[in-house]
Amino acid sequence: MAAPLASKPGPPGAPSKPAGPELDFRSGARTEELNRLIQEFAKHDQREYDDQRALEIHTAKDFIFSMLGMVQKLDQKLPVANEYLLLSGGVREGVVDLDLDELNVYARGTDYDMDFTLLVPALKLHDRNQPVTLDMRHSALCHSWLSLRLFDEGTISKWKDCCTIVDHINGATNYFFSPTKVADWFYDSISIVLSEIQKKPQRGMPKVEKVEKNGTIISIILGVGSSRMLYDIVPVVSFKGWPAVAQSWLMENHFWDGKITEEEVISGFYLVPACSYKGKKDNEWRLSFARSEVQLKKCISSSLMQAYQACKAIIIKLLSRPKAISPYHLRSMMLWACDRLPANYLAQEDSAAHFLLGLIDDLQHCLVNKMCPNYFIPQCNMLEHLSEETVMLHARKLSSVRSDPAEHLRTAIEHVKAANRLTLELQRRGSTSSIPSPQSDGGDPNQPDDRLAKKLQQLVTENPGKSISVFINPDDVTRPHFRIDDKFF
């Protein structure tokens, strides 16, 4: 094939020819077209909340919190005044660093319309005077055993059946809080409570369509009016402060410096029920910084978030088997990119295409090198356990995406449009059975009124993508106190 002739330069002073469309060197895709497709995906992927949907969201949330209040009363294990972290998006969306291998596959549109993750503290260690023993001697980085040895006798007695017991030579007994036993207890307790609730159905009460234990996660799908809500409920251990193993991270410069305070970032962390590749499932917990990630998300530009969501939609199914890359890995790479790149570059509204291609490149680089550092504990490599065969398989799949990103974006758009069509069709079918107005005849006086729906809609509109923490007393579940990041309602 003959090489194209080079164009002759014009005479000095002659006007230059207008530049052609900006192209991606690797794929030949037009940057303008990629930006348009990312915008179209974002338009179809975003959830819209009318008054009815807002009321359904509130009703489902109220039902879940009331259920947890009843779980607490069963055996008094859960803290009486608990603090939950409610995250938009299910565990499968990568909102928390949990293993997805044991999760059943749920699809938006087919199985649910909206999804949430709820972190429920089984133990709440918020008293700085409370002695805590994180035993990392037997664990990989970013993981720990939790000893109850220094806790009071009441706590040990309450949770003894959810511990593994180790007897020492000197005669002392050590109780290690077991994530698998806690998850088993939690699922059994939720099942008992839901069975009791369903014996006395009330008007407007959500229909429990599915309750499943997926590893250490309890997934509940509720039918509320014309909507189906997926709640992934995760038993956790909640801490105030910051773990010593992540102290060095605070000494580095980060993209959020000057945008939010360090106190906001290090307000607390969790142990979530997940173990390392070679860890003991019965004893090992994983450190999670979900509360900090909620704060950091406020500092990420909308164009980068759109690129991240589009990239996640492309890879979530493509790389699902064999399990190697989760959306949480992609989220970590995005945070590292925010540290690496200038803020004014990441703030450019017309650069979503560059961000998408960069995330794919970063992901492929991490795979080929089997290296994806945890953002908060960089010495923890989240991909070190992968086999060469798995790495190369996924790297080849990503190479096909990188060679034609526009086509993969179009496929992602068609998937989300199909999910939306399914949702709308089910809403049309269920419109006659939607939640009755509290003012209608026969309405339950305990049902939330329209003011609650308007309040929730206002909070969702004014705080897109933010976390909702809820303080609730099981003795009075009708008066939850909302906290949107640091605002109280």
Confidence check: pLDDT of 2 > 80: no
Share of the chain above pLDDT 90, in %: 61
Looking at residue 173, the DSSP 8-state letter turns out to be E
pLDDT reported for residue 120 = 97
Q: What are the pLDDT digits (tens) for 24-79? A: 998 999 999 999 999 999 999 987 667 788 889 999 999 999 999 999 999 999 99
Residue-wise pLDDT for 250-274, tens only, equals 999 999 999 999 999 998 999 999 9
- Check residue 194 and give its pLDDT: 96
Per-residue model confidence (pLDDT) at position 132 = 64
Least confident span in 96-110, 267-281, 363-377, 410-424: 96-110
The mean per-residue pLDDT over the stretch 445-449 comes to 40
**Helices assigned H by DSSP within 319-373:** 327-340, 343-346, 352-369
Cα distances (Å, whole numbers) of residue 352 to 110, 123, 310, 348: 29, 41, 10, 8
* Rounded mean pLDDT, 80-97: 92
pLDDT at residue 52, as a whole number: 82
Looking at the predicted structure, is the pLDDT value of residue 473 above 90? no
Q: How high does pLDDT run on average in the chain?
A: 85
Distances (CA, A) of 64 to 84, 160, 306, 331: 11, 26, 30, 28
pLDDT of residue 456: 56
Closest CA to 469 of 176, 2, 169, 88: 88
pLDDT at 457 over 70: no
pLDDT of residue 436: 40
Span 368-396, mean pLDDT?
94
Q: Which of 172, 205, 175, 161 is nearest to 59 (CA)?
A: 205
pLDDT for 484 equals 56
Cβ neighbours for 435, distance < 8 A, ≥ 6 positions apart = 52, 55, 56, 59, 204, 224, 225, 447
Check residue 53 and give its pLDDT: 83
User: d(Cα 125, Cα 140) in Å, to the nearest integer?
Assistant: 23
pLDDT recorded at residue 134: 79
Mean pLDDT, rounded, for 281-287: 95
Structure tokens at 83: 């603090």
pLDDT (tens digit, 9 = 90+) per residue, 169-195?
676 788 999 999 999 999 999 999 999
Residue 461 pLDDT level (bands cut at 50, 70, 90): low
Cβ contact 485:477 at 8 Å: no
- Separate counts of helices (H) and strands (E) for the chain: 14, 14
For residue 196, how far is the Cα from the chain centroid? 30
What is the spatial distance between Cα 146 and Cα 164, in angstroms, rounded to a whole number? 10
Tokens, residue 73? 């009363």
Measure the CA–CA gap between 53 and 129, rounded to whole angstroms.
44
Q: Residue holding tokens 């009363």?
A: 73
Selection from 469, 435, 451, 488 nearest residue 53 by Cα:
435
Q: Average pLDDT in the 102-128 region?
A: 89
- How many Cα neighbours within 13 Å face the side chain of 204? 23
DSSP label of 454: H
Confidence of residue 319 (pLDDT cuts 50, 70, 90): confident
- Asked whether residue 5 carries a pLDDT value surpassing 80, the answer given is no
Percent of the chain with pLDDT over 70: 81
| Prediction pTM value | 0.83
What's the rounded Cα separation, in Å, for the pair 386 and 323?
Answer: 10
Do the Cβ atoms of 233 and 221 come closer than 8 Å? no
Q: Tell me, what's the pLDDT at 131?
A: 58
Greater pLDDT, 434 or 295: 295
